[in-house]
Amino acid sequence: MEHSGSGSGPASWPEMADVVPMPQDDGPSPVVPIDYRDDFREVMDYFRALYFARELSARALRLTVEAIELNPGNYTVWHFRRLILEALGSDLLEEMNFVNEIAERNPKNYQIWHHKRWLAEKLGPDIANNELEFTMKTLVIDAKNYHAWSHRQWVIQALGGWEAELQYCNQLLQEDIFNNSAWNQRYLVITRSPLLGGLAVMRDSEVDYTIEAILANPQNESPWRYLKGLYKGDNNLLISDDRISGVCLKVLNNDWSCVFALSLLLDLLRLGLQPSDELKTTIEAVKNYSDPQMADTDLVTAVCSILQKCDPLRVNYWSWYKTTLSS
């Protein structure tokens, strides 16, 4: 429906000549009435009339285009459009092209991504690659776009497309090792891809990959969290893998105040890790750097005390944590 928005009434909407516009009802005394633009008010008045009449027609579909252009976040308009598309048996590939154009201009609009998922569900696996390509284009512009990531995760789990996803994660992390969204996606692939064999099969190589990322930049929190996640539910395996305590040791030998290394080491000790002589020596050295008065303190309490000094933003948490050590 072509409409310039310059006019008002049936004269500017010939196909609506038989429709009585329905104004918005803000009650008899609105506290802060909104001063809508004339074109917006006109479109929405006609929209309400067709919506409440449940007119699932071609002209109603064209009207939703006007309403979406004016406000792409209107949930009711999108909902009504879906009802019309189904009633008319519309070409959903054409509809996907339409919504993609809207999404490119409004990449963080929840209603648009919801509509895309509805269409993808209807279109099935044949649309998977197109949807993955669209999210890739969106993530080039904003690598942390939550809506794009959420849609991508839904697509590969519901429609397929696992084949190249790990390589995609590799690419993103090569470009930006701090991309926590890519680390999160990598974990999804490792744990849920039907092609890789699951976490038990992938853990060994993933630990090596993650340790390499940690050593490249120990202040990057994402790989530390990812490393611990690789042992989720298996604490015995976590403390028995010498690579885990080993990376803590390497980092602390270069930077005794690294919060992430200290925090993981504290977890390991609480879980029952029997530290090597080398690790004991490192912790003793850290004690002396941090506070010589901790010389006689046990290892777990010492690491917690060091964290109180190195992590001032969470000093209250570490103080509380230390009170739990006796129990």
Helices (H) and strands (E) in the chain, counts: 17, 0
Please provide the DSSP assignment of 175-243 as one string. Answer: H-TT-HHHHHHHHHHHHH-TTT--HHHHHHHHHHHHHHHHHH-TT-HHHHHHHHHTTTT-HHHHHH-HH
Active site residue 144: no
Tokens of 251: 């980092």
The 10 Å Cβ neighbour count of residue 112 is 22
Which residue, 200, 182, 181, is CA-closest to 191?
200
Distance of CA 49 to the CA centre of its chain: 38
Residue appearing with tokens 């340790």: 211
Among 108, 122, 228, 322, the one annotated catalytic: 108
Do 204 and 237 touch, CB atoms closer than 8 A?
no
Rounded to whole angstroms, the Cα distance separating 144 from 68 reads 25
Instruction: Using DSSP, state whether 142 is helix, strand or coil.
Output: coil
Which residue, 134, 143, 141, is CA-closest to 171?
143
Residue 17 host element (H or E): none
Do 131 and 151 touch, CB atoms closer than 8 A?
yes
Radius of gyration of the chain (CA): 29
Which residue, 90, 103, 93, 41, is CA-closest to 61?
90
Do 269 and 277 touch, CB atoms closer than 8 A?
no
Distance of CA 83 to the CA centre of its chain: 29
The catalytic site residues sit at 108
